[in-house]
Amino acid sequence: MKIYIDGKYYGERDAKVSVFDHGFLYGDGVFEGIRAYNGRVFKLKEHVDRLFWSAHAILLRIPLTRAQVAEAVLATCRANRIRDGYVRLVVTRGRGTLGLNPNRCGKPSVIVIAGKIQLYPPELYQKGMEIVTVPTTRNLHNAVNPAIKSLNYLNNILAKIEANNAGVEEAIMLNAEGYVAECTGDNLFIVRDGQLLTPPLSAGALHGITRAVVMDLARDEGWPVAEPNLTRYELFNAEECFLTGTGAEIIPVVKIDGRVIGNGKPGPLTIKLEQKYRALTRTTGEPIHP
Ligand code: PMP
């Protein structure tokens, strides 16, 4: 595997960042997870835009233009002969001192890793998965805004550990008011009363790129889509539930906190959206080989 770091490629053993990089010392940096399907990078512009918005929000100046970052992603896919894969795009604050002050850091580092990822076992896509709500509250948006896709994922990792301790793969995180925010690495949707519902971004969810695609696909199918605040009660009484994310794509949920969702099987809208999403990912995107 060839890993891009600041304009050069390194083998896996030599792809290193400094222990003085504030990305390592403090989780000070931003990232994106991106997928390639069939020789194309899916929603590349949207991912690059979100990376720049995350960076802007933490006053991190990416030392490349958006076009250059997009090209670094495509070039790293070419260098690794990727047709189908997962790309991790990372920008760290750069090498600094042991103090917190980001102004003491030199130049931010841009890193692109193009490889593979498998998030959940394949049978969960067939049967649907069981998830639980966990005690760890989603970050407050006036503390570390969940809209910032930062390298500081400890909030999500704590929730993931709590899910694992409960014997399931994923956790639902509630915000400080008790409304549903999202899962540790995925957005959440339910179907109720003929509508597709997902928590509003203000509830503490990432502006998911898969989330936006799924909302468009559902509207194309004639489904009303809304973003109300949701409580656990609405989830328990949903007809369908599924999660969305670049890595997970669309994964059905059939049990939440021990309550069976719908008839306990992936629902018809979930299956329809999975099919449409799969078709879209295989036919659109930025060609790796122009
Ligand atoms: N929420 C969180 C916390 C995430 O990390 C992610 C991305 N893995 C998502 C939601 C899904 O976002 P996207 O569809 O853009 O991958």
Per-residue pLDDT for the chain (290 aa), expressed as one digit of tens each?
999 999 999 999 999 999 999 999 999 999 999 999 999 999 999 999 999 999 999 999 999 999 999 999 999 999 999 999 999 999 999 999 999 999 999 999 999 999 988 778 889 999 999 999 999 999 999 999 999 999 999 999 999 999 999 999 999 999 999 999 999 999 999 999 999 999 999 999 999 999 999 999 999 999 999 999 999 999 999 999 999 999 999 999 999 999 999 999 999 999 999 999 999 999 999 999 98
Co-location of 52 and 103 in the same domain: yes
Contacts (Cβ under 8 Å, ≥6 apart) of 155: 136, 138, 139, 144, 146, 173
Compute, in angstroms, the gap from residue 186 CA to the centroid of ligand 1: 5
Rounded-to-integer distance, Cα 34 and Cα 50, Å = 11
pLDDT at 255: 98
Same-domain status, 24 and 59: yes
Q: Tell me whether residue 286 is in a domain.
A: no
Straight-line distance from the first to the last Cα atom of the chain, in angstroms, rounded to the nearest whole number: 22
Eight-state DSSP code of residue 45:
H
Q: 180 and 274 share a domain?
A: yes
d(CA 150, CA 132) in angstroms, rounded, equals 24
Same-domain check for residues 252 and 110: no
One domain for residues 141 and 235? yes
Alpha carbon of 20 to ligand 1 centroid (Å): 28
* Residue after which a domain boundary falls, among 115, 142, 173: 115
Tell me which of 2, 43, 149, 276 is the catalytic residue: 149
**101/91 Cα distance (integer angstroms):** 17
In terms of residue numbers, what domain contains 197? 122-281
> Looking at residue 21, which CATH number applies to its domain?
3.30.470.10
User: What does the pLDDT look like over 218-263, one tens digit per residue?
Assistant: 999 999 999 999 999 999 999 999 999 999 999 999 999 999 999 9
Instruction: Look up residue 178 and give its two tokens.
Output: 């008790």
Give the chain's domain count. Answer: 2
| Global model pTM greater than 0.95 | yes
Question: Using CA positions, which residue lies closest to atom 11 of ligand 1?
Answer: 245
pLDDT at 240: 98
Evaluate whether residue 289 is within a structural domain: no
pLDDT at 117: 80
How many A from CA of 182 to the centre of ligand 1? 9
Rounded Cα gap, residues 67 and 180, in angstroms: 36
Please give all residues whose beta carbon lies within 6 A of any atom in ligand 1, as ranges: 33, 156, 182, 185-187, 206, 208-211, 244-247
pLDDT tens digits, residue range 154-165?
Answer: 999 999 999 999
Atom of ligand 1 at shortest range from CA of 246:
16
Instruction: Reply yes or no on whether 149 is catalytic.
Output: yes
Question: Which of 234, 172, 182 shows the shortest CA–CA distance to 208?
Answer: 182
DSSP string, 82-149: -SSEEEEEEEE--B--SSS-GGG--SPEEEEEEE----S-HHHHHH-EEEEE-SSPPPPTTTS-TTS-
Q: Are residues 161 and 65 in the same domain?
A: no
Looking at the structure, tell me whether residues 70 and 185 fall in a common domain. no
Of the three residues 115, 150, 166, the one that is the final residue of a domain is 115
Residue 174 and residue 103 in one domain:
no
**Boundary of a domain, candidates 51, 86, 115:** 115
Closest to 277 measured CA to CA, from 236, 239, 245: 245
Judge if 147 and 264 occupy the same domain.
yes
Burial (CB count <10 Å: 0-12, 13-18, 19+), residue 131: buried
